[in-house]
Amino acid sequence: MKVSFKILRQQDNLSAHFQSFTLDVNPSNTILDCLNKIKWEIDGTLTFRKNCRNTICGSCAMRINGRSSLACKENVEGELKKINANTEKSIPEIVISPLNNLPVIKDLVVDMNNFWQDLESIEPYISTNARNIPEKEFLQSPQERKLLEQTGNCIMCGACYSECNAKEINEQFVGPHALAKSYRLLTDSRDDNSQKRLEEYNNIDRGVWGCTRCFMCNEVCPMDVAPLDQISKIKGEILAKTDINDDSRAVRHRKVLIDLVKDGGWIDERKFGLMVMGNYFRDIKGLLSIMPLGLKLLSSGKFPFSFEPSEGVAEVRSIISAVQDSE
């Protein structure tokens, strides 16, 4: 069958442009097979990364039809199905572009420096003290090892980083790959640095609270690492630790939310602003920051002067208590 590959090409300091190549392909061909064919038979200057050709090394991550994935994992048939291409009417088209959130070096090759620096910033190795053991080996039980399986599957391909909405708007956010690795370290029985790590990951901009929960990292990860799930587990651990910076606005936000819903079945917005932003009248700067919003609500007649508890408060309370007890 004939398929057109529309590839975004770019070199340093030059504007990007699409170039199309039409190939005769087998539906089972991987996208990487097709790129190789273009490079070897049509245009040797087309540049992309590859190595294992088998979903192991993570080098061939790129955006295929607007979704970051591995070129050696996706095939022509699967891609055409995703876009509901009508192969009988016209030559279907597969659009290929480089990963997002990273600068392009050439064509489909991006500069991964920021990706690695973000990973480095969470100290992605077992703590030094924990490594000072008298035995020759640092043994783990099968149960302890099992806890590392899902996060240990990460091949550092960058697909999650490319789709991360938080990373796109906040350079400081360390990214889903780094936070998935963070959870791996928190669960690793050989690491003895959990308290310090949780304090680090509690950072409002760089750490777990910077995530917008858009779900894209879970959606695109080719290894089912589910970074968002790992981020949520770290948040749970932070919230469960009473000795971790309770004054942090992000932590207070979650705790106040639960307390208010437990109290009234839904959120009393007047109290929410005062407790979260104003830290129970202790944070004057925070209080002042919500004044303009309060005035705007007042002038437009939308300020909630009273609060009515929702129906079924008792039921809501018992559900929250049951969840809290089970934790």
- Point out which residues bind ligand FES (CB under 6 A): 50-53, 55-60, 70, 72
Task: Give the separation between CA 249 and CA 202, rounded to whole angstroms.
Answer: 10
Strand 17-24 and strand 109-110: the pairing is unpaired
Is residue 278 near ligand SF4 by the rule CB under 6 A?
no
Among residue numbers 139 through 158, which ones bind ligand SF4 (CB under 6 A)?
154-158
Structure-derived torsion over alpha carbons of residues 198, 204, 205, 210, reported in degrees to the nearest 10? 90
Candidates 7, 62, 76, 228: give the one binding ligand SF4 (CB under 6 A).
228
* Contact assessment for residue 108 and residue 166, using Cβ atoms and an 8 Å cutoff: no
DSSP three-state, residue 321: helix
Q: How far is the CB of 94 from ligand FES (least distance, A)?
A: 16
Find the part of the chain contacting ligand SF4 (CB under 6 A) among 123-131, 218-226, 238-246, 251-259.
218-226
Q: Does 98 bind ligand SF4 (CB under 6 A)?
A: no
Strand 2-9 to 93-97 pairing: parallel
Closer to ligand SF4 by Cβ: residue 2 or 213: 213
Give strand pairing partners of 3: 23
Could you give the CA distance from residue 119 to residue 174 in angstroms, rounded to a whole number?
A: 7
Q: Fill in the DSSP letter of residue 41.
A: I
What is the footprint of ligand SF4 within residues 156-175 (CB under 6 A)? 156-160, 163-166
Which CB sits closer to ligand SF4, 79 or 268? 79
Return the number of the residue (23 or 211) whose C-beta is nearest ligand SF4.
211
The token pair at 204 is 């409002």
Q: Which residues bind ligand SF4 (CB under 6 A)?
A: 154-160, 163-166, 176-177, 180, 211-217, 221-223, 225, 227-228, 231
